[in-house]
Amino acid sequence: MQLVSSALLVAFLAAPSVLSYSFTTPKWGLKTPVVQKKQAAKLVMKHGNTQRNAAPAFSLGSLFGGNGSGTASSAGTANLEPHPSVRPHISPLNRLAPGAASVENDEKALPVHPDVRSGVLENGLPYIILPNASPPGRFEAHLQVFSGSADEQEPQQGIAHLTEHVAYMGSRKRERLFGTGSQTNAYTDFHHTVFYAACPLLTPRGNQPMLPMALDALLDVMEARVESQRLEKERAAVLSEMTMVNTIEYRVECQILSTLHRENRLAKRFPIGKESLIRSWTTDDVRTWHRTHYRPDNVLLYLVGDIDPDEAEKVIKEKFGHVSAEKQAAEIKIPEIKKEAAELADAVVAGTVKSAQSWHYPPVRHDWCVPKGTKIDPALVGPDIDYDIHLQLPMPLDDKVALLKTEEVSPGKKIRPHIFRHELLQSFSLHLFAKRPVEPIVDLESFRHSLARRIALAALQIRLNVGGRSDDPAFTFVEFNQLDSAREGCAVCSLDMTAEPERWKDAICKSLGEIRKLGLYGVTPGEMERYASSLMTDAEQLAAQGDRISHGDQLSYLMETVANGHTFMSPMQSYYMTSKALQSLTLEEVNKAASDLCSHITGFKEGCEGAEGPAIAIACSPKTSDTSGPSYCDEESLVKCIYDACQADVEPEEDVVVPHTLISDSEIQTAMEENKPEWKPGHFSDGTPDTAPDSLTRPFTLRRLSNGIRVGVAQNSAESQRGHLRLVAPGGRDAEKRLGFKKGAMAIGARTMQEGGAFGPWTREQVELFCVDHLLMVEITCNEESITVDFVFPTTNVGNVGFGDNVQLGITGTEAVMQIVREIIVGFKWEEDALGRSKQSFRSSHEGLQKNLEGLTTERIMEAMTQHDERFLSIDVDSVNAITLEEARLAVMSQLLPSELEISVAGDFDVNEVLNMIYQFIGTIPADANEQYRKEADNIVGRVPDLKEPGEFIQLELPDSDPRAVSYVAGSAPNMWGYLADGSTVAERVLAADKRCSDYDRRRRSHPLFAYVALSLLSEICNRRLFSTVRERKQLTYDANFSFTGFERLLGGWFLVTVTASKEKAQQALDACKETLAALRKTSPISSDNVESAKRVVLNRHEGELRTTQYWTQLMSGMQEESIPLKGPLTVTDFNAVVESITPRDLQLTLETLGLDDDKLYTAIGRTIQPQSGAADEEEEALVRQAPVIGMRRGGALTG
């Protein structure tokens, strides 16, 4: 049941102009819709289309409502020189710009969201306001600056990111937001820099409006003071950030992006830039960049939230109305940069996608790869100009790079190949691309085309993910998609695939064969029906959610839609247009979209018409000295393999018979007769009285079934028509050890269930497609203390056939989930091929750990703290290989005993209906089901091992060509509920240490929730102190993190401080973390301000998460478990009151329950060392060797 990994959903559940796939974690079914995921701090490439000339040509005066001249005019600027970078350009508001083509009378045009308001101040600053109700009493403000690393000149590489740090971290007005329950951050990418603040409407103290305060902080960004002290702090932070994220994953991304965009600026303008330049810049350098790019015509302000648009407009004008480009220009102090900025500005508007399509895009052009005969707007090709806007000429600061040659494998058929080898890589990966112009989604025709493309992509992805997994699959991961990318200024059609190194050729042949099959023959009628229905269901769910979509999700969708020039619709408008488009969408249209998507691959076959332009192929593989073995791949063999794979004949896909229900009504009726269930009272150990078996309670209903299964149900309408179910079997790897199973048997068995999925008469493929039809996501995991099965599902009828009046309803997603839960417990079929995939996953994970600096260092410190207790360590390859299917089955089934299980379900449904389904499908499971697998153990609740004293200092060295370091400080701690390894509790220790406390304090501290809340607040305070001391004051790191292990059932746990630094400063950073924790105990104890600030963070997080069904299932899980005695209904009902009651004295005493004495600490430093082979061989010279770089992934951004 690895079914539709997180990927498929986008095809279904993304908003109409958004599409995204992710296959990093195998899951059955679908993932949460993209529009439900906040992407503010990392850009994820999404599918949509952009319209050229969506708005008339930009001029600061005429278009943005100025005085009609070509530049904005403001009081006090008449005698100032014009800004060197200001040029007439299209409005960044795109479809929302004043003067954009009217759509009111165009029946074919997509409707614009009725509540969105946009405008432009007299100085040229544009803004967008979107009132949104969820969560109430909060809003988000984002300031987007349309300059990123791609806009940097030769001596400025990295300055956009550094300026972001200086502008926001140095803002005193931003500091006023601290302690108010606000979150602020900023990030830099190729095409922009974004600053944001997510705030409550009113201050916690005084009830003062916070919108002016948030906009003051963003205004401070526009008027940033570049002070020497702040520059030095942020320079140190950026240099540390380089080291922190310079992982092998990021280096792979650099190779991919450099190859993909070799013909433009993106290949040489990674956001982190050059270390030598970063170290050299003065305040004048940073100020010059800031004043050049932070100007009214080059930004866009977004406001989304529970706000009054009229009032918001007044505050925007009041705060930003006086800013002018001319004033900014007057402070540009470096004449030569000023001159070069003017030349670059001329080149940008002369011939880039930024000037031709969207001001949100980077100033680039692309080598397009499109189906034969496709007409491309000449403006997107760009004229040849004298200025080297695309950085094709060599420059002194350029890294030494391998030249990329485009191979013409056959007349008119081109591939640009590149190979990247590295000693830290363990798998082969292929990344095959075609770049295409972003198309507009602004009318019914373009909307229909986008739906057709999404259906085709969904069909292919499910084929790859379900049908492509044979008994011995060639690839371990595969994803095919086409996404519009504002950060790259194009749509990227991509195949991303990983495989074992020796099987790379088979993997390429298999994946390309499936793509060619789609391109040549299209989708089947069954697939068309399945995925069209899924799109309709998703649109219905979003429409039902309406303004309950969170501010962050609305803002992410709004930003991406505006950036790509799409029409921004409301969920209800999107639902209406989806219904209208799908009712007339034909199979032929979908197959034409499929043909276009795959044209760059199908065109490689001899006799077929090739695509116009090059396909781009990057292969990444482990470095090896054996150039004749099956795992070796070079450019020539890569191109040949791709070409040969495209010559094989393929056959059309055949439809699979997919059941509409897994369990028939007659089967359930028989079960009811044989095992008639009863409801029993809910029972708790936190002091809450038992609940009645026949009544509903708020905020949740908690009962037990007569077969012993514990049940919790909560209604939550915040996520419309969606639900989450969690099935928990306590035990996990702790039970694996206590019950005498082989090392890894429990974890490998749980993953085997994830990889399998056959039930009763149904095959794995049928069950997985059943999950697809019903929009289910299923994920099975095993940790140290439990096996957990999580389901995400729609609560409405799904698997429907037809549209409108002709629709035939399927069963609800809720009923589909109940059927699967029942079959997991009593009807699961264990298969050898699923075990094989499970074991391969664990082997890859363990082998990958040996090449991961952070992971391996953490493993070493855990080995020391646990005395090599296998419950807390990765499973080695020999142990994985030793597990048989029978051993995996026996281990997992020993945990699936009804008397031990707990089911928690929350969602937008009728509680009585869900209880009735549980009664029928789960209550009829016999009480003695799986009793034959039961194994007895002496103790029910496990504990973490005692720490040996004194602690240890561990040093680890890992071969890597780039210098990196990570440091850790760890020690003993309570579990999440305050139990220590010896069985004592935080409350007991706090009361023992404060014998003179009042009766009131004794009652407070005896509350079951006391330790849980105190530890949550303590974690926030420690993190803030570490940031202030280790980063801000000592300037040793970009970030330091404090966390608890968070066990619920196991007694005891650990705390862990993680800090990254340069190799030279790793010891200093470690010592600084120890000093910070010591100071909290003695010289700088916890203050009232610390506590109040932490309370705001914890309460706001809790309130926000209460709007999600997943959080409700987490809260309910364990409430009726005897192994978590302090967890019960009071966890929810008393949470706010307990948080507000906590005092600095409580936290100071709680801090003493941690093992913070110096001789009890375990510390570690992991450092990289140069591989024994020394410098890279000449033929292994990297395409791009950035100074240590900042992670972003394709589509990701820098968070600073």
Question: Cβ-count burial of 664 within 10 angstroms (0-12 exposed, 13-18 middle, 19+ buried)?
Answer: exposed
pLDDT given for residue 38 in this prediction? 29
Share of the chain above pLDDT 70, in %: 89
User: Does 70 have pLDDT greater than 90?
Assistant: no
Structure-model confidence comparison of residues 156 and 62, the more confident one: 156
How far apart are alpha carbons 723 and 715 in whole angstroms?
A: 9
Among 206-210, 242-246, 309-313, 908-912, which is the least confidently predicted range?
242-246
With bands split at pLDDT 50, 70 and 90, how would you rate the model's confidence at 402?
Answer: low
With bands split at pLDDT 50, 70 and 90, how would you rate the model's confidence at 37?
Answer: very low
How far apart are alpha carbons 717 and 78 in whole angstroms?
A: 56
At 465, which amino acid appears?
N
**What is the overall mean pLDDT for the chain?**
88
pLDDT given for residue 753 in this prediction? 96
* Residue pair 885/780 in contact by the 8 Å Cβ criterion: no
* Residue pair 871/734 in contact by the 8 Å Cβ criterion: yes
User: Does 309 have pLDDT greater than 60?
Assistant: yes
With bands split at pLDDT 50, 70 and 90, how would you rate the model's confidence at 19?
Answer: very low
Most confident of 93-107, 331-345, 846-860: 846-860
How far apart are alpha carbons 704 and 772 in whole angstroms?
A: 31
User: Does 72 have pLDDT greater than 50?
Assistant: no
Strand-pairing partners, residue 979, are 985
DSSP 3-state of 146: coil
User: Does 12 have pLDDT greater than 90?
Assistant: no
Six token digits for residue 925? 């499971």
How far apart are alpha carbons 498 and 23 in whole angstroms?
A: 11
Q: Give the E-state strand segments of 947-1085 in sequence order.
A: 953-959, 965-973, 1040-1044, 1053-1061
Q: Give the E-state strand segments of 974-1103 in sequence order.
A: 1040-1044, 1053-1061
| Cis bond before residue 136 (omega within 30° of 0) | no
* Residue pair 42/1196 in contact by the 8 Å Cβ criterion: yes
The enclosing H or E element of 615 equals: strand 615-622
Q: Distances from the Cα of 350 to the Cαs of 93, 226, 346, 379, in angstroms? A: 20, 32, 6, 9
Six token digits for residue 957? 């060295």
Among 98-112, 419-433, 574-588, which is the least confidently predicted range?
98-112
How far apart are alpha carbons 835 and 756 in whole angstroms?
A: 8
Among 308-312, 863-867, 938-942, which is the least confidently predicted range?
938-942
Q: 308: left (phi > 0), else alpha (psi -120 to 50), else beta?
A: beta
pLDDT given for residue 806 in this prediction? 63
User: Does 768 have pLDDT greater than 60?
Assistant: yes
Share of the chain above pLDDT 90, in %: 77
Six token digits for residue 363? 């100033």
User: Does 1000 have pLDDT greater than 90?
Assistant: yes
pLDDT given for residue 334 in this prediction? 87
Six token digits for residue 737? 């050890």
User: Does 388 have pLDDT greater than 50?
Assistant: yes
With bands split at pLDDT 50, 70 and 90, how would you rate the model's confidence at 800?
Answer: low
- What share of residues in the chain are helix, strand, coil (percent, to 5)? 40, 15, 40
Q: Which of 122, 140, 152, 234 is catalytic?
A: 234
State the CB neighbour count (10 A cutoff) for residue 399: 14
- The closest alpha carbon to 99, from 69, 54, 52, 129, belongs to 54
pLDDT given for residue 77 in this prediction? 56
Work out the average pLDDT over 753-772. 92
Please state the φ and ψ torsions of residue 141, each to the nearest 5 degrees.
Answer: -125, 125
Strand-pairing partners, residue 1040, are 1059
pTM: 0.89
- Tell how far CA 160 is from the center of its chain: 24
State the CB neighbour count (10 A cutoff) for residue 636: 11
User: Does 1179 have pLDDT greater than 90?
Assistant: no
How far apart are alpha carbons 245 and 257 in whole angstroms?
A: 17
- Concerning whether 164 is annotated as a catalytic residue, the answer is yes
* Residue pair 891/920 in contact by the 8 Å Cβ criterion: no
At 419, which amino acid appears?
I
State the CB neighbour count (10 A cutoff) for residue 104: 7
How far apart are alpha carbons 558 and 128 in whole angstroms?
A: 9
Work out the average pLDDT over 122-139. 95
Six token digits for residue 60? 């600061």
With bands split at pLDDT 50, 70 and 90, how would you rate the model's confidence at 335?
Answer: confident
pLDDT given for residue 47 in this prediction? 28
With bands split at pLDDT 50, 70 and 90, how would you rate the model's confidence at 803?
Answer: low
* Residue pair 941/1019 in contact by the 8 Å Cβ criterion: no
State the CB neighbour count (10 A cutoff) for residue 280: 11
How far apart are alpha carbons 493 and 1194 in whole angstroms?
A: 12
pLDDT given for residue 253 in this prediction? 93
Strand-pairing partners, residue 708, are none
Strand-pairing partners, residue 615, are 415
Work out the average pLDDT over 856-871. 96
Structure-model confidence comparison of residues 1160 and 65, the more confident one: 1160
Six token digits for residue 321? 């109305």
Please state the φ and ψ torsions of residue 57, each to the nearest 5 degrees.
Answer: -55, 145
Three-state SS annotation for 806-848: HCECCCEHHHHHHHHHHHHHHCECCCHHHHHHHHHHHHHHHHH
Work out the average pLDDT over 712-725. 95
pLDDT given for residue 1183 in this prediction? 47
Most confident of 63-67, 372-376, 1079-1083: 1079-1083
User: Does 936 have pLDDT greater than 70?
Assistant: yes
For CA atoms 870, 871, 876, 879, the dihedral sign is positive
Angle between helices 1066-1081 and 1010-1026 (to 10 degrees): 130
With bands split at pLDDT 50, 70 and 90, how would you rate the model's confidence at 393?
Answer: confident
User: Does 175 have pLDDT greater than 50?
Assistant: yes
Structure-model confidence comparison of residues 194 and 36, the more confident one: 194
User: Does 1184 have pLDDT greater than 70?
Assistant: no
Each residue of 598-622: pLDDT tens digit? 999 999 999 888 889 999 999 999 9
DSSP state of 172: H
pLDDT given for residue 429 in this prediction? 96
| Cis bond before residue 699 (omega within 30° of 0) | yes
User: Does 1175 have pLDDT greater than 90?
Assistant: no
Structure-model confidence comparison of residues 543 and 406, the more confident one: 543
Six token digits for residue 577? 């247009």
Q: Which of 122, 140, 152, 164 is catalytic?
A: 164
- The closest alpha carbon to 918, from 750, 704, 1067, 664, belongs to 704
Each residue of 1049-1074: pLDDT tens digit? 999 999 999 999 899 999 999 999 99
How far apart are alpha carbons 1125 and 1048 in whole angstroms?
A: 10
User: Does 338 have pLDDT greater than 50?
Assistant: yes
pLDDT given for residue 931 in this prediction? 96
User: Does 394 have pLDDT greater than 60?
Assistant: yes
List alpha helices for 631-744, DSSP H: 635-645, 665-674, 732-738
Pairing outcome for strands 953-959 and 1162-1169: parallel
* Residue pair 386/263 in contact by the 8 Å Cβ criterion: no
pLDDT given for residue 632 in this prediction? 95
Query: What is the residue whose two structure tokens read 């025709």?
Result: 445
How far apart are alpha carbons 582 and 504 in whole angstroms?
A: 39
Strand order in the sheet with 1162-1169: 953-959, 1162-1169, 965-973, 1053-1061, 1040-1044
- Tell how far CA 793 is from the center of its chain: 20
State the CB neighbour count (10 A cutoff) for residue 69: 11
How far apart are alpha carbons 273 and 726 in whole angstroms?
A: 45
